[in-house]
A and B are shown apart, each in its own frame.
Chain A
Amino acid sequence: MEQSGMNFSLSLDQLELREAVADFARKTLNPGSLERDAKREFSRELWKKCARMNIFGLPLPEAFGGLDLDVASIVAAMEGLGYGCRDNGLVFSINTQLWSCEIPILHFGSDEQKSKYLPKLCTGELIGGHAMTEPDTGSDAFTIQTRAVREGDNYRLNGSKIFITNAPIADIMIVFARTAPGKSFMGLSAFIVERNTPGVAFGKNIEMMGLRTCPIGEIAFNDCIIPEGNRLGKEGAGATIFNSEMEWERSCLFACHVGTMERVMEQCVAYARARLQFGQPIGAYQAISHKIADMKVRIELSKLMVYKIAYSKMNGESVSLDAAIGKLYISEALAATCKDAVQLHGAYGYCAEYEIERDFRDSVAATIYSGTSEIQRNTIYRLMDL
């Protein structure tokens, strides 16, 4: 498609990459996904297989073992992952490492930090995440109370984090803490904290409504000593690092959701053709066909948004506004599509075996993580210069 200087068409290489990732996910990641969801089980073995597929190397330079792909190619691969993989929890874990751990180290880390962590994140030897949310701060993220007090060449870290994706399994975490009280969002800094650091305690899995194969937990820091060399970026750069991560996450994670919607819609189309009621396929009824038409509309608009954002990023343009628009629209579109899919399948959609109800449970989280729908609307309004 080409208009007004915008060209969102994918190259043959990008199309092949999307299909290769989808095919890998179908064959390798889907077997046993129903059982893992029921047991709330994360699979380190599958994580390693994703690493061998170089999923964790998509955005990383070759020097660190990565593929050094452009943003549009990464988005194509993410779309393929969401399309092929039914294990939405695993997809979320993967994305957390990519955008909230690898990307900030790549963009803000010292040469030493990059060399130490990125190759091992790429090979799956290390699992990464980031820790921002606290019991009293969610949407109001920059009011966190975890403190990092400078003591010579170290920082003393105290505080607690909650709802931290990958926390129960992570080897390293990007932890955000306040280094300068009174300086609001400019008083935050980020630190790379290794799991075995004395004073760090990881809590057990928190049981969530969906994304059950993605371990989510608490972390407590009790007089935890972090060397200055583990500070990521300059002191006071925490909010910028966080915003940068979120922009990448909103740009790329949500491409997975476009793929998920495509998969769900195809399942609905197949069911609408095969399921007979009152003497004809249920797809012949407008009550059903309109649901599927709405799914198609959501998918096409979501695709336009993720590829527009991808190409804007490649051109070095600011995508803060578009990323908020895309995140809001795609997350709401995913939740609406999965809810419609349950309704369309009737009782079959409500039972676990069809895996539609799991997509629905998982989809609700998308309207909350990476900034709630309400926060996206606030961001959009604020960036519109009204």
Chain B
Amino acid sequence: MDTKIKIRDFITDTFLKTKSSTNLSDDLSLVESGIIDSLGILKVLSFIEATFGFKVSEQDVVPEYFENVNALAAYVDQHRQGAKKH
């Protein structure tokens, strides 16, 4: 399954299951929209590490990688490729 779909499904299932709207656009800011808070980030980290098989560096937990589904998917794909090369 495509990285972006897996991430979008996880966020929808985990953070939007009690919300009336479950239409999550890939460029919607997850933080500014209030979908993910500081504890929610921990769940996203666990999901990424368990699903995509690499350790997320603490230094990488910044807006440029966690802003929205697009940014998360690009970050994951970049690091999965890096992991495969090693």
Chain A complexes with chain B: yes
Stretch at the interface among A22-30, A217-225, A230-238, A284-292: A230-238
16 extra A-B contacts, CB within 8 A, seeds A180-B63, A186-B31, A240-B58 = A142-B38, A184-B32, A185-B31, A185-B37, A185-B41, A187-B63, A233-B62, A234-B59, A237-B59, A237-B62, A240-B61, A243-B38, A244-B58, A318-B45, A382-B39, A383-B42
CB <8 Å contact, A239 and B42: no
29 A-B pairs within 8 Å (CB atoms) are namely A107-B58, A108-B59, A183-B31, A183-B63, A184-B31, A185-B37, A185-B38, A185-B41, A186-B31, A186-B62, A186-B63, A186-B66, A186-B67, A187-B63, A233-B62, A235-B62, A236-B62, A237-B59, A237-B62, A239-B41, A240-B58, A240-B62, A243-B42, A244-B58, A318-B42, A318-B46, A379-B39, A382-B39, A385-B14
Number of interface residues of B (CB under 8 A): 21
Interface class of chain B by DSSP: helix
CA gap between A108 and B59 in the complex, in Å: 7
Number of chain A residues whose Cβ lies closer than 8 Å to a Cβ of chain B: 26
CB distance from B56 to the nearest CB of A (A): 10
Complex Cα distance A235/B61, Å? 10
Question: Can you list the 5 inter-chain pairs with the closest CB atoms, starting with the nearest?
Answer: A240-B61, A236-B63, A185-B38, A186-B31, A382-B39
Chain B, residues 18-44, CB within 8 Å of chain A (1/0): the string is: 000000000000011010011101110
Given known pairs A180-B63, A183-B31, A184-B32, the reply for A239 and B58 (CB within 8 Å) is: no
Which one of B32, B39, B42, B62 lies within 8 Å of A234 (CB-CB)? B62
A320 touches B42 (CB 8 A): yes
The yes or no answer to A279 lying at the interface (CB within 8 A) is no
Bound-state Cα–Cα, A379 to B55, Å: 22
CB distance from A177 to the nearest CB of B (A): 15
Which residues of chain B are near A187, meaning CB under 8 Å?
63
Complex alpha-carbon distance, A244 and B42, angstroms: 11
Binding site for A on B (CB under 8 A): 14, 31-32, 34, 37-39, 41-43, 45-46, 55, 58-59, 61-64, 66-67
Contacting A239 at CB < 8 Å: which of B34, B38, B43? B38
Provide the bound-state CA to CA distance between A183 and B31, in Å: 6
Residues of A within 8 A of B41 (CB): 185, 239-240
A182 at the interface (CB under 8 A from B): yes
In A320-356, which residues have CB < 8 Å from any B CB?
320
Residues of A104-125 whose CB lies within 8 A of B:
107-108
* B-facing residues in A157-204 (Cβ within 8 Å): 180, 182-187
Contact partners of A320 in chain B: CB under 8 A = 42
Contacts of A379 in B (CB 8 A): 39
Flag whether A152 is at the interface (Cβ < 8 A): no
Complex CA gap A107/B42 in Å reads 18
